[in-house]
Chains A and B, each alone.
Chain A
Amino acid sequence: MTVDHAKPKGRLRWWVVLQGKNVLSGLLFIGVALCGLWISQDYPVGTMSRMGTGYMPRLLLWILLGLGGLILASGLWQADQPAVTDASPGAAWRPVVFVTLSLVVFGLSLERLGLVLSILLLTGIGAAAGRGMRLLETAIAALVLVALCWLIFIVGLSLTIPVWPGF
């Protein structure tokens, strides 16, 4: 936090500005608010004393838009705001993609393929999210997890999750 406020904005490259946390979060809130306003444009608003379906959402969306604008402005104003950084560049996409994918596949397969196969899928895909996992290790981990889940959820809590594919 040095006395850098007087720094002319023009000297900053736009991509550097764009990496600012406040700039990005401001843009995020503005984006969400605009999408929401667009989706909710047909919701009946009603009046203050007889609010319709859209009254509260649209009110909140306008507030969010305003707040997003303020955050964005504060980001542009403070040139020295903290920037989004990665420990090792390009490292983040891997967990984001594979953690998400493993859950999506798990969700889609659970009722069709049953718990056991879904666990294998989840651990298989999920393992790719981290680094330094070996195949043998993954396989053992998957088997241990299958046994653990079977014991806890099926034997212990007798949840109504299919264990094997149902045909």
Chain B
Amino acid sequence: MRTFRAVLLCVVGLILGGVEARAQSAAYPDKPVKILVPYAPGGATDIVARVIGEQMRLILGQAVVVENKPGANGIIAVEEMARAKADGHTLLVGNVTTNAIAPVLYRKRYKINYDTDVVPVQRLVDIPAFLLVTTTNFPPTTVAELIDFAKKNPGKVRYGTVGAGSYPHYDMAYFAKRAGDLNMIAIHNKAGASGVINDMVTGDTQTAFLNVASTAAMVRAGKIKPLAVVNHQRLPEHPDVPTMKEVGYPEVGTLAWQALFAPAGTPNEVLETLARASVAAMEAPAAQEIFKKQNFNIVPNKSLDEAKTWLTGEMAAWKKIADEVKIETAE
């Protein structure tokens, strides 16, 4: 009986809480904005979300709360965002894995329809990557030499990835295919970029695609060497490292990105406000400084339509890669 009464008490409280539901007409944003991040704190996506969130707070004049919902290649966070009320108060900062690759590869695992329930608001930053080789007992120092070496030593070159079906895995598998069906072995390390780097330093693997920010220190120390960069142009800090395009593989390697997403059905004027606010946030000097140090390029879309076209293009490109490479993963 005591329990029953306690429950009753709570139900009454619940109803009272409901009465307080606010009027809809107020100008956006009329309450704190929540940005979901599909990763645990500390990664690139989390940092971008927090930096932009901090600036958007100043621009929108409302609190911006970053909430981490890690897991399942972002499916948990994306689903939660898509199911939230489409009023611009629940957003998501996702990346190429959570918002282009997973929706292509793991379509069946979603309980929402990704194509119709999620809209891109703004492409935020691009994250350049290196094609790297170890300097531990490994002769090749150019992309051509790497290909040559792999051809002469089939099954002897091992490459590191952050997991089966991750984009560094696809990148290298695609590269191997384009370079003439090279026979190279994938070694996955769940510990992320740092694990892959460690494998390269110990000599367990010889090559990998990894983003510039997390490898810069080891490159400077001479433990690993960049052969090429996945970017539109060479990096100012590494003027002698050619782009993948220059070495003849323009479509190989993922130029990873972060972007802002909202639930489909969010009013257009709210989306416009958000798109403008996020560009202003990225252009704030404090954000610029942080992104520059991490080698992130700021690449906003010019309109909401352009953002949609861009995302569709990304997903189509991934579909093509997935069909062509055919990595044996479950599903």
Note all chain B residues with C-beta closer than 8 A to A121. Answer: 6-7, 10
Note all chain B residues with C-beta closer than 8 A to A134. Answer: 2
B17 touches A125 (CB 8 A): no
A117 touches B65 (CB 8 A): no
Note all chain A residues with C-beta closer than 8 A to B67. Answer: 160
Note all chain B residues with C-beta closer than 8 A to A164. Answer: 17, 20
Interface status of B26 (Cβ within 8 A of chain A): no
A117 touches which one: B3, B17, B22, B330 (CB < 8 A)? B17
Q: How many residues of A contact B (CB 8 A)?
A: 23
Interface status of A74 (Cβ within 8 A of chain B): no
Cβ contacts B1-41/A at 8 Å (1 or 0 each): 01101110110011001101110000000000010000000
A124 touches B18 (CB 8 A): no
CA distance A165 to B19 in the complex (A): 11
A128 touches which one: B2, B17, B66, B330 (CB < 8 A)? B2
A117 touches B14 (CB 8 A): yes
Interface status of A22 (Cβ within 8 A of chain B): no
B2 touches which one: A113, A117, A138 (CB < 8 A)? A138
B9 touches A124 (CB 8 A): yes
Most buried by A among B7, B18, B65: B7
B330 touches A125 (CB 8 A): no
- The A interface is mostly helix, strand or loop, or mixed, namely helix
User: Contact size class for B?
Assistant: 10 to 19
Note all chain A residues with C-beta closer than 8 A to B65. Answer: 160
A158 to chain B, nearest CB (A): 9
Given contacts A160-B67, A167-B22, contact A120 B3 (CB under 8 A): no
B2 touches A120 (CB 8 A): no
Interface status of A53 (Cβ within 8 A of chain B): yes
A120 touches B13 (CB 8 A): yes
Note all chain B residues with C-beta closer than 8 A to A39. Answer: none
A140 to chain B, nearest CB (A): 12
Most buried by A among B5, B6, B22: B6
A124 touches B22 (CB 8 A): no
A135 touches B2 (CB 8 A): yes
Q: Which of A104-121 contact B (CB under 8 A)?
A: 113-114, 116-117, 120-121
CA distance A158 to B22 in the complex (A): 24
B18 touches which one: A125, A135, A139, A165 (CB < 8 A)? A165
A167 touches B18 (CB 8 A): yes
A135 touches B5 (CB 8 A): yes
A79 to chain B, nearest CB (A): 43
CA distance A124 to B11 in the complex (A): 12
> Which residues of A pack against B, CB within 8 Å?
53, 98, 113-114, 116-117, 120-121, 123-125, 127-128, 133-135, 138-139, 142, 160, 164-165, 167
| 5 closest Cβ pairs, A-B complex | A124-B6, A167-B21, A128-B3, A160-B67, A165-B17
